[in-house]
Amino acid sequence: MPTHATFRTLQATWLENALRQYAALSEPGPGVSRLAYTRLERQAHELFAAQLADLGIPSHTDAAGNTIGELPPNAGPRPGAIGTGSHLDSVPHGGAYDGVVGVVGALAVAAAAGAHDRPRHHPWRFVAFAAEEGARFGQACNGSRMVAGLTGAPDLRQLTDSTGTTMAAAMAECGLAPHDVEAARWDPRDWSAFVELHIEQGTVLQDRGVPIGLVDTVSGSTRLRVSLTGVASHTGGTPMDGRHDALATAAECVLGCERLALAAAEVNTRITVGSLTVEPGAITIIPGRVVFTVDVRETDHGRQRTATDAVSRHCRAVAARRGVDIEIEELADTPPVGLSSEVRSAAGDAAATLGLATAVIPSGASHDTQQVSRLTAAGIVFVPSRGGLSHSPDEFSTAEQIADGTAVLLETMYRLDAR
Ligand code: HGY
Ligand code: MN
Ligand code: MN
Ligand code: MN
């Protein structure tokens, strides 16, 4: 077993190369663009399967597009597996680390476990989940929701992207089997624990100078689509009073959302309008129609619902005062999840063995582990994000930080395996 220092040096180089290989699978433009259920996401899963195969680990891709490898190879179905992994899709022009760090970390663990004769009592599984980002279809964690039985075939025909393409059609286009996703469901008896390595996507670890985060709660997310229909008209001929300007209405809504979050006593309330479209979108026409999305995050579901209701009430009041029609669709409502204290303490002991300080912190971002935690004891290990930036081309974590996280991941897996 290499010393932690050796492991760290070896790993840092290998990890950097692996991260570069995944980052190359992207649409052109700044950052990484590898959206859910696109050809590029499938190529990333094919790369993962090939890297597992290089380690002598066979894998399969399920109907939902998740790719899963297992040690020992070809041992047949055995209960009580220990799993690790994350996702390979990205947001448009996102970073090279979100999700991928957990997948290359799983590969590094698979390589180390396969190479050493340290005993393992349970099957170990290495997972790349499909379609974790909600950027394309509005709902996050799709592949992991399907293994947890939270999203089924009928839902896939309802979820659409901005072009009106359903998730089912996009999956079929990628050669997957949307009609058969029930077959992708995991049996809780097949699992005994799951742990995900992920970048923090916040600044707590960096601010505190701590290399490892142990997540206690993953924030929930309620996502809305708000459509405002006013009256498009001539910007010169139409007097200011009596206008029904959809964009001015939206502007009041957006600033109101920000005000509601800032006023919330609980620091974990976060409300963001991330996308907004304007029609007809011409300089001489008063905007007649605006559609925008709202993402409400919280670590307490009661506060998450209260904040969402306050957002709807505010937008409806502004639209009524301005004589603009409003439609509010709820795209998703994922409650916050408390993660397994047993997995968290195994990771804390692992970090202590490696001489790495830890901090127990909540996650503002959602993760596949949220869904997996409905099936088995699950946890998340964070590594620092430079400046807390994520979902941005400037997302960055050093190879050494990721190597530390991978060393903790490996040691955590052995501890969970030995329970
Ligand atoms: O949206 C999220 O929090 C995650 O990155 N899917
Ligand atoms: Mn992620
Ligand atoms: Mn993300
Ligand atoms: Mn995730």
**Does ligand 1 come within 6 angstroms of the Cβ of 356?**
no
366 in ligand 1 pocket by Cβ < 6 Å? yes
Helical packing angle, 301-321 and 246-263, nearest 10°: 150
Q: Letter for the amino acid at 202?
A: G
pLDDT mean over 65-90:
92
- Tell me, using a 6 A CB cutoff, whether residue 132 lines ligand 1: yes
365 lines ligand 1 (CB under 6 A): yes
DSSP assignment string, 269-289: -EEEEEEEEEES--TTB---E
Report the pLDDT averaged over residues 147-155: 96
Tokens of 162: 């901005």
**What is the pLDDT averaged over residues 172-197?**
96
So what's the ipTM on this one? 0.87
* Rounded alpha-carbon distances, angstroms, from residue 275 to 137, 193, 386, 411: 13, 37, 25, 41
Question: In angstroms, rounded to a whole number, what is the distance separating the alpha carbons of residues 258 and 247?
Answer: 17
- Calculate mean pLDDT across residues 118-134: 95
State which ligand 1 atom lies nearest to the alpha carbon of 297.
3
Question: Using CA atoms, how far apart are residues 381 and 333, in angstroms rounded to an integer?
Answer: 24
Query: CA 353 → CA 106, 208, 360, 411, distances in Å?
Result: 20, 20, 17, 9
Give the separation between CA 270 and CA 307, rounded to whole angstroms.
9
Question: Nearest residue CA, atom 4 of ligand 1?
Answer: 366
What would the pLDDT profile of 247-290 be if each residue is shown by its tens digit? 999 999 999 999 999 998 667 899 999 999 999 999 999 999 99
| CB atoms near residue 134 (< 10 Å) | 23
How much is the mean pLDDT over the chain?
95
Residue range 80-103: mean pLDDT, rounded: 98
Average pLDDT on 305-311 reads 97
Report the interhelical angle of 399-417 vs 100-115 (nearest 10°). 60
- 232 contacts 271 by C-beta, under 8 angstroms: no
- How much is the average pLDDT of 51-59? 94
Ligand 1 atom closest to the CA of 141, numbered from 1: 6
Query: How confident is the model over 308-327, as a mean pLDDT?
Result: 98
- Cβ–ligand 1 distance for 84 under 6 Å, the answer no
Q: How many CA atoms lie within 13 A of 361 on its CB side?
A: 24
Q: Please state, as a whole number, how many other Cβ atoms lie within 10 Å of the Cβ of residue 281.
A: 12
Q: How far apart are CA 198 and CA 393, in angstroms?
A: 17
Question: Atom of ligand 1 at shortest distance to CA of 364?
Answer: 3
Mean pLDDT, residues 101-118 taken together = 92
Q: Separation of 209 CA from ligand 1 center, angstroms?
A: 24
What's the residue count for the chain? 419
For a pLDDT cut of 90, what percent of the chain falls above it?
90
Q: Phi-psi region for residue 213, left (φ > 0), alpha (ψ -120 to 50) or beta?
A: beta
Tokens 């939270």 correspond to 150
Over residues 334-342, mean pLDDT: 96
State how far the Cα of 417 lies from the Cα of 419, in Å rounded to an integer.
6
Quick: pLDDT tens for 388-413.
Answer: 999 999 999 999 999 999 999 999 99
> Is the CB of residue 295 below 6 angstroms from any atom belonging to ligand 1?
no
For 71-123, the DSSP string reads ESTT----SSEEEEEEE----TTB-SSTTHHHHHHHHHHHHHHHHS-----S-
Mean pLDDT throughout 177-193?
Answer: 96
Considering the entire predicted model, what is its pTM? 0.91
pLDDT at 120: 92
Residue 2: the pLDDT is 46
Q: Which residues contact 8 (CB under 8 A, 6 or more apart)?
A: 400, 403, 404, 407
Query: Which of 86, 98, 133 is the best mutation target for the ligand 1 pocket, counting ligand atoms within 8 Å of the beta carbon and taking the most?
Result: 133
Nearest C-alpha neighbor of 281 from the set 246, 313, 318 = 246
Mean pLDDT of 211-217: 98
pLDDT (mean) for 51-76? 93
What is the whole-number distance in angstroms between the Cα of residue 219 and the centre of ligand 1?
A: 10
The protein residue whose alpha carbon is closest to atom 6 in ligand 1 is 133
Give the per-residue pLDDT at 1: 41
Statement: residue 10 has pLDDT above 90: no
What's the confidence (pLDDT) of residue 21? 97
Question: What are the C-alpha distances in Å from 69 to residues 14, 45, 77, 109, 334?
Answer: 20, 11, 12, 12, 28
Could you tell me if 108 and 408 are in contact, meaning their C-beta atoms sit under 8 angstroms apart? no
pLDDT of the residue at 107: 95
Backbone angles phi, psi at 106, to 5 degrees: -65, -40
Nearest ligand, measured from the Cα of 223: 1
**Taking 60 as the threshold, does the pLDDT of residue 340 lie above it?**
yes
Contact 176, 36 (CB under 8 A): no
Q: Which residue has the tokens 């670890």?
A: 205
Please give the Cα distance from 86 to 198 (Å, whole number). Answer: 8
- For residue 99, give the ligand 1 atom closest to its CA: 5
Q: Which atom of ligand 1 is nearest to the CA of 365?
A: 3
